[in-house]
Structure 1
């Protein structure tokens, strides 16, 4: 059994969100949900409630987002602008977070900042599964896998070798995965389009 405080969170918040606003003027992560809290803040609060040592990866051109997440308790890792790393995409952001995270992390829960409806209990269940020895853990609701995903440190070389925008999910097709049953449709619900902000789900 690994110690609770050795697990870390990584919140990926450096994406461009072009489907939400093709002009790039409106950052979807800074939009308010019906509760009044921003998309990124909701995602961060749920992660921090379980993993107080969490790194938020943000882009250089989003200082307001970085400030908001830092005030909530995230350690901030500023990533290169998306235009400079477009060939690497999400994998680059993830690797920035991994390198920036504490060296004694036994593993990571990798969460997406545009998924504000993931329940705190889902994150806690993933951590418990990892503490019990799982190398990779993924939440499952009604037979479907979702986010976030947990990885133990043994997979660090594979995570650092990723390329492209698919991110760590490509490893789930190659290595053994522990599926964690949860009662949480939020593991599928991202904020991709403006109409997603009016989702009727409870945070």
Structure 2
């Protein structure tokens, strides 16, 4: 079985006011936190499960693409990034149509750990569900994972809502991380203040 782990790094940070994914946080671009956790989770998951986990980055930013390629990480160029989140999902499903499942992770959740990612995937597979997502204590949210039967549906998505319409369904399996703060995402400039304080601890 193959699970494609997809870091969605195509956003332009409209609410943030600038290209947030390359903003330096403790000397590192914001997106690298999520990328590192995904790579660590993939490496940890394989020996314990025998399941093939591969990481890919979907982006519309040259600097991110070049840096990931230099590290040997698969990159998919998103030429329709201006449309919104759905374009990233379609790019990944089209490029990795052979995968048995696609798991999508926003690049602006820097506190999400490899341990939580691996546990999320492990429990999702054990559930037998066809679709799953995390819950931040208030609502269902990304990360989300879809098995192959959802492939055609993902390819029909348009706009900036991603796969949200699927996640609202009653049959969606929901994961509650032990530390819901890991799902904190960076939307506005002020969010960096909280992030820096958290990383300083």
Q: Report the TM-score when normalising by structure 2.
A: 0.83
Deviation of 1:182 (Å): 1.4
Match in the other structure for 1:65: 64
Compute the displacement of 1:41 (Å): 0.5
> Structure 1 residue 19 and structure 2 residue 15: aligned?
yes
Give 1:105's aligned residue.
99
Unmatched runs of 5 consecutive residues or more in structure 2: 43-52
Give yes or no for the alignment of 1:117 onto 2:111: yes
Q: State how 1:1-203 maps to structure 2 within 5 Å.
A: 3=1, 6-21=2-17, 26-34=18-26, 36-51=27-42, 53-59=54-60, 62-80=61-79, 82-83=81-82, 86=83, 89-101=84-96, 103-132=97-126, 133-142=128-137, 144-174=139-169, 176-198=171-193, 199=195, 200-202=197-199
Deviations 1:26-48 (A, max 9, x none): 421011223x2221110111112
Deviations 1:62-121 (A, max 9, x none): 2111122233443111111544xx3xx2111210111112x4321011001111111222
After superposition, the Cα gap between the structure-2 partners of 1:187 and 1:155, relative to the gap in structure 1 and judged at 3 Å, is: farther
Structure 1 gaps, min length 5: none
How far did residue 193 of structure 1 move?
A: 1.6
Q: CA RMSD in A?
A: 2.1
SS in 1 for 2:133: strand
178 and 196 in structure 1: CA distance in 2 versus 1, 3 angstrom threshold: same
Instruction: Check whether the contact 1:55–1:74 (CA below 8 A) recurs between aligned residues.
Output: yes
Indicate how the Cα distance of structure 1 residues 162 and 134 shifts in structure 2: closer, same or farther if over 3 A, else same: same
CA pair 142-81 structure 1, distance change in 2 beyond 3 A: closer
| Structure 2 residue matching 1:53: 3-state secondary structure | strand
**For this pair of structures, how many residues does the alignment match?**
187
Q: Secondary structure at the match of 1:150?
A: strand
Q: 1:74 to 1:184 in 2, by over 3 A?
A: farther
